[in-house]
Amino acid sequence: MFKFGTAFADVRKTVIDEAHMTNPLCCAGVVTLMFAVVTPALAQQQSAAGRIKMVSGSAFIVRQGAPIPAQVGQFVFEADGLRTGADGKIGVTLKDDTRVSLGPSSEVRLERFIYAPADGALGLVLKFVQGAAAYVSGRIAKLAPDSIRLETPAAIVGVRGTSLAIRVQPQ
């Protein structure tokens, strides 16, 4: 028995599929759309400075001025900030194995992070804004100790491979 609806759907599908496959603008649009969706995700993963390893209480990544609730495994990028609430703690490990931990009511900004040892490009600038933090240097400090700077509102410190605790009073 002939079903008009089924036959019409088959013809319409064939016509539409053939029209889309032979239309160069459509194919170019599909390729462009694929790159637009995939490229930013790949770029973010490639340029990540590190990852969040520990979160407790209220802790946030501040990205482009907007707080994002922090989660273990989340990427941290150059220019991101880390902020904790009164009950918060957060720990981050950067690609060079530098470790930074923040206690409650604390904030630090990753002003600069460059880790390309094969190219000789190394650098780390952390700006401690307020609160308590612990810092353990990674490979950048071993390979290029003069390329690390820790900033507080009162001082700028060059680091040559060490671990330290910092407390910054709010201004």
Same domain as 135, residue 58: yes
Same domain as 93, residue 53: yes
Rounded-to-integer distance, Cα 128 and Cα 171, Å: 12
pLDDT value, residue 161:
63
Q: How many domains does the chain have?
A: 2
8 A C-beta contact, residue 110 and residue 135:
no
Same domain as 90, residue 26: no
pLDDT in tens, 50-97: 999 999 999 999 999 999 999 999 999 999 999 999 999 999 999 999
pLDDT in tens, the chain (171 residues): 545 455 545 544 554 455 555 555 555 554 444 444 444 444 444 589 999 999 999 999 999 999 999 999 999 999 999 999 999 999 999 999 999 999 999 999 999 999 999 999 999 999 999 999 999 999 999 999 889 999 988 877 776 667 878 888 877
Same domain as 131, residue 62: yes
In which domain, by residue range, is 154 found?
Answer: 49-168
pLDDT value, residue 6:
52
Angle at 84 between CA 79 and CA 90, to 5 degrees: 80
Pick from 110, 108, 109, 113: which is nearest to 123 by CA? Answer: 113
pLDDT value, residue 58:
98
Angle at 33 between CA 16 and CA 40, to 5 degrees: 160
Write out the two tokens for 75: 């990427």
Q: Which amino acid is it at 11?
A: V
Q: Which amino acid is it at 107?
A: E
**Residue 57 in 3-state DSSP?**
coil
8 A C-beta contact, residue 95 and residue 49:
yes
pLDDT value, residue 110:
98
pTM comes to 0.71
Same domain as 53, residue 41: no
pLDDT value, residue 3:
53
pLDDT value, residue 123:
96
Query: Considering Cα of 137, then 139, then 142, then 147, what sign does the dihedral take?
Result: negative
Same domain as 153, residue 123: yes
Rounded-to-integer distance, Cα 93 and Cα 70, Å: 14
